[in-house]
Structure 1
């Protein structure tokens, strides 16, 4: 199911095109979908212009969910199949996972091995979250819990959590004024610029520093500020130098057939594929960096970026 090829207007129940506007025209189904995509319980209107592409997607999803466009029955009644959830730009069950789960939620009890991974993921083990995501049945509670790093946030879990047992670092370990490690002069310079408020420098750290290092984590967390969209918070001051000459059409490395397939789908604007590639690509590899940059495009949440590219 393709949900990306959207315009700036969509039909209402009568088939008449309507303008996206500022979001005040959204019906209950559309508001619920958009709130889930943004990870909030209640929308703040009027919408920020950056969220308008997501509002268009919410309209189209609700239009598709209504089996009879002229019906007065509530929209959003069709359950998406697991494959549709994986292929859509905004798989609702996964996007909503942080609002549905808490780290201390008990496991479902359907599979002892997955239950053990669930508990370890909830306790803060990034490797357990990643293993659970790989082993879980698509569309299951296990998958959604793992995708959200144990009900925390929809982010590459190794970046968000680290592994405390292995000396991992968390976002809360940093603040913008945290001094650079002093190990690599070039990276120290990008660290200081990131701390000073350059989203370009933060992105450069994500893509050029050793995977899982303090440098990479400082960059991904926008200098200890956020694990969401650094450019939206600080302003976009340009692409990082590491992306120069790179293209979403670059051939995959060829080292792993499964990862190569994810690479190609990520480059073709599949946000779930980018998310999986970031999880399963070896730390510091081109696979991981291609995924974290949404196909050599930008270090930003891929679902939101792809929605903007589709308008």
Structure 2
């Protein structure tokens, strides 16, 4: 089984972390020691092993990488194949960088990540493969599943996988897991004996063993990538380590054999049953635990037949779907609230308009009945150019010959009537006042013109005419 990079189909829930600006401490090779204990190796070289976080092809995942020099890290290609710009996180979490994959391939399964800023961490050097011995203790550093925390895994070199006289890979007995991929296995003097890459099963054996590809298998390819960096695109095809064809008789590759269909493995069957019953965590566990390409994996990838392709992320996919459903419900509710507000606003406007029309109709009726205040109110409240406005301007037809507001016209008409009466009774001053105050061409003006019938044609000079007569 390839040590998966914990790839899942979870959409991003947070924005990518901005690259931290490292302190001016760059990767430097630690001085070698004759022999370091496991805890001493971890203390000295942990800063040179980074967690690799990737996101692409509707998946996310993680693996491990180690510092080769101040601008380059080494990892597996299958760890970064979906994301050519992975995030790199230090053991203490205080240093985060965005790297760029400048080369990668499946045979050997190796990739190089380049960063612009100098790396803060201990640089590691390759071990001389010829100096390694069966039975030698090595220590693997990385970030295995499920927690993805920094882990230290001691192991022993059981044997070497050969290609002619070349030691291509180390067979070890370490309990490595998903997420260890790309991490280094160190000798007692802190050099990289091998890179954790793939889990295989020895032919005719039940035990799974990790293969760690050696300096002789990887170093020249890594150097080629550094010397001739390339622009690398994401690959959404599931990438797995390819073993040389000549190794076929030595291993039963977990990715090509092993439990396949329901009934082949009791543990996987139990996860299958729980997954089929709707336990999404069991579906995810089944996907991670199943042989690559097996029927178990295919069933788990669909979350028990409820999804098209989740690839070990049934729980996170369900959470994301629930979040999207909540967002959609919120959007629908917002639209409904907005429509209700608009309807209420329109109803209020229509109600206000109806009340205004009723008020105008009432004023019109009262105005026509002779209420001059109503006529004035009607003039200001009626629509411009409307029939109601014309009626108000004419004071309901009562004082068409007068100017000003209807209330003023009514008062003026009263004064004119008083003057008409006084003028007709012989008050020549009233006749003169009537002449100047009455509307031009009105009956009142005609009465004033003749001084109430006493001095025809002497309008405006009635008092003078009366004095002359005397």
Calculate the TM-score normalised by the size of structure 1.
0.27
Structure showing greater radius of gyration is: 2
Q: Give the number of the structure whose residues are more often strand, by fraction.
A: 2
Higher helix share: 1
